[in-house]
Amino acid sequence: MSLVVMKFGGTSVADLNCMRNAARRVKAEIDAGNRAVVAVSAMAGVTNKLIGYVSELSDLHGGCEADSIISSGEQISSGLLALALHEIDVPARSWLAWQVPIETDGAHGKARIKNIDPSNLLTCLDGGEVPIVAGFQGIDPRGRLTTLGRGGSDTSAVALAAALKADQCDIYTDVDGVYTSDPRIVTRAQKLEKVTYEEMLEMASLGARVLQTRSVELAMNQAVRLQVRSSFEDSAGTFVVDEDEIVEQQVVSGITYSRDEAKITLVGVHDRPGAAAAVFGPLANANINVDMIVQSTASDGNSTDITFTVLKTDFEGALAVIKAFGDDLTFDDILTDQDVVKVSVIGVGMRSYAGVAQKMFETLAEKGINIQVISTSEIKISVLIAEEYTELALRALHAAYQLDAP
Ligand code: ASP
Ligand code: MG
């Protein structure tokens, strides 16, 4: 008998029919002789609606009242799913975060889970009831409700699986797994049977929107076996596993893209030791994350161009910070471009194969696509290109790395 954490995302509980479908999934797990603990998201669209109310009424985002409002979508889902289970004769009980409890820090809107005491849930299971836990929520040291950031119910599910020492954490969603690229753009994208934690972590943070990045980090650290699978189809999904579980490792496992970044260039920065620190220090202090960076010094050695990217949501903030630079940093001009896309190829196989970057650059060159910024890590290469080439670049790279479905 296994203990499985089953997480249902917003589209999997979007309406009462979906709730009934999710309930049947839970029943099937139990009929198979397993024990299940369920984590739920708010019904699709509900969290957005609640956030809309908050921002229309007040500038106080990310505060404690906001969290009490936007966490309520998950309360509704957990109650409804428990009722749907009762209707098919499966005893179930809803659990809000404070009832478990799921303890977090006090960072409203982006709280981190500190501790989950599994004993109440285990007692519930022993009593023959399926616990249905409201995801996305926590309770802080002052006893106030918190939320874990958008998409945070994935993290709730993984944290529950870790605390319960579950055998597996199944993330039920509206796609049937993790693909080599976005199937809406790359029609020959293939479903991956397995992907490593590290690759999934890169994919999640580089634009594949199947899992919240933090949930993958947690799964990796706690060795939680994850599966991403469809609520609506029976096929096996994609397993997120340790590298040594994958026998035939591809050099590249996935190609992602993100339109979330904007490019800023400071032209003719007066070059001296400390110039980069003078740019990026104030941005960091303003909580603005800088992603890709290139700096090139003019041949006279006196001035330098610094190009970097920030999230589009931080773009205006970044410009404000730059405009407030004092005499510490002088430059000739600011150039900006929001019509850019970051395309990344990801694969742990890159560690042992040379020439992966070269293939990327050649493939893009053949298509006449100019690379504006490059950044790399051990298992990924990202390039910034003009947004209009997104489709062309993804399809060409997918073919070049032999990921196309036969
Ligand atoms: N309902 C929350 C959101 O929309 C949490 C989640 O779906 O994971 O962000
Ligand atoms: Mg989600």
Q: Which tens digit of pLDDT belongs to each residue from 10-46?
A: 999 999 999 999 999 999 999 999 999 999 999 999 9
Per the CB < 8 A criterion, the answer to whether 394 and 257 are in contact is yes
CA distance 292 to 309: 5
Report which protein residue has its CA nearest ligand 1's atom 5. 151
**149 CA distance to ligand 1 middle (Å):** 8
Pairing mode of beta strands 168-173, 3-8: parallel
- CA distances to 45, 276, 286, 344 from 375, rounded to whole Å, are 35, 17, 23, 9
Domain boundaries, the chain: 3-174
At 229, which helix (H) or strand (E)?
Answer: strand 226-230
- CA distances to 31, 54, 178, 193, 254 from 186, rounded to whole Å, are 38, 38, 13, 18, 11
What per-residue confidence (pLDDT) applies to 250? 82
Could you give the percent of the chain with pLDDT greater than 90?
88
Between these two residues, 299 and 126, which has the higher pLDDT value? 126
Residue whose entry in the numeric block shows the structure tokens 């870790």:
162
Q: Which two tokens stand for residue 82?
A: 């428990």
Per the CB < 8 A criterion, the answer to whether 375 and 283 are in contact is no
Report which protein residue has its CA nearest ligand 1's atom 7. 151
For the CA of 136, the nearest ligand: 1
- pTM value is 0.90
Closest atom of ligand 1 relative to the 212 alpha carbon: 8
Strand ranges (E), 260-366: 261-270, 290-297, 303-311, 333-337, 340-346
Is the distance from the beta carbon of residue 136 to the nearest atom of ligand 1 less than 6 Å?
yes
What per-residue confidence (pLDDT) applies to 39? 98
**131 CA distance to ligand 1 middle (Å):** 19
Residue 130 has pLDDT above 90, yes or no: yes
Per the CB < 8 A criterion, the answer to whether 14 and 44 are in contact is yes
Per the CB < 8 A criterion, the answer to whether 104 and 111 are in contact is yes
What per-residue confidence (pLDDT) applies to 399? 97
CA distance 140 to 229: 32
Report which protein residue has its CA nearest ligand 1's atom 6. 151
What per-residue confidence (pLDDT) applies to 271? 86
Residue 205 has pLDDT above 90, yes or no: no
What per-residue confidence (pLDDT) applies to 296? 87
Residue whose entry in the numeric block shows the structure tokens 């399926």:
130
pLDDT-based confidence at 61, cuts 50/70/90?
Answer: low
Closest atom of ligand 1 relative to the 42 alpha carbon: 1
91: three-class secondary structure by DSSP? coil
Residue 249 has pLDDT above 90, yes or no: no
Strand ranges (E), 321-372: 333-337, 340-346
**111 CA distance to ligand 2 middle (Å):** 16
- Biggest alpha carbon–alpha carbon distance for the chain: 79
Coarse DSSP helix, strand, coil percentages of the chain, rounded to the nearest 5 percent: 35, 25, 35
Task: Give me the DSSP letters along 26-64.
Answer: HHHHHHTT-EEEEEEPPPTTHHHHHHHHHHHH-S-TTSH
Between these two residues, 229 and 352, which has the higher pLDDT value? 229
**389 CA distance to ligand 1 middle (Å):** 31
The neighbouring-strand residues paired with 79 are none
CA distance 229 to 238: 7
For the CA of 228, the nearest ligand: 2
Q: Which two tokens stand for residue 342?
A: 């970051």
CA distance 221 to 197: 9
Is the distance from the beta carbon of residue 109 to the nearest atom of ligand 1 less than 6 Å?
no
Architecture of domain 3-174: 3-Layer(aba) Sandwich (3.40)
Residue whose entry in the numeric block shows the structure tokens 């966490």:
71
- Per-residue pLDDT tens for 74-98? 999 999 999 999 999 999 999 999 9
At 145, which helix (H) or strand (E)?
Answer: strand 145-147
Closest atom of ligand 1 relative to the 148 alpha carbon: 5
Q: Which residues surround ligand 2, an ion (CB under 5 A)?
A: 9, 151
Per the CB < 8 A criterion, the answer to whether 77 and 170 are in contact is no
Mean pLDDT of 255-279: 93
Q: Whole-number mean pLDDT of the chain?
A: 95
- Per-residue pLDDT tens for 315-329? 999 999 999 988 778
What per-residue confidence (pLDDT) applies to 300? 78
Per the CB < 8 A criterion, the answer to whether 356 and 350 are in contact is yes
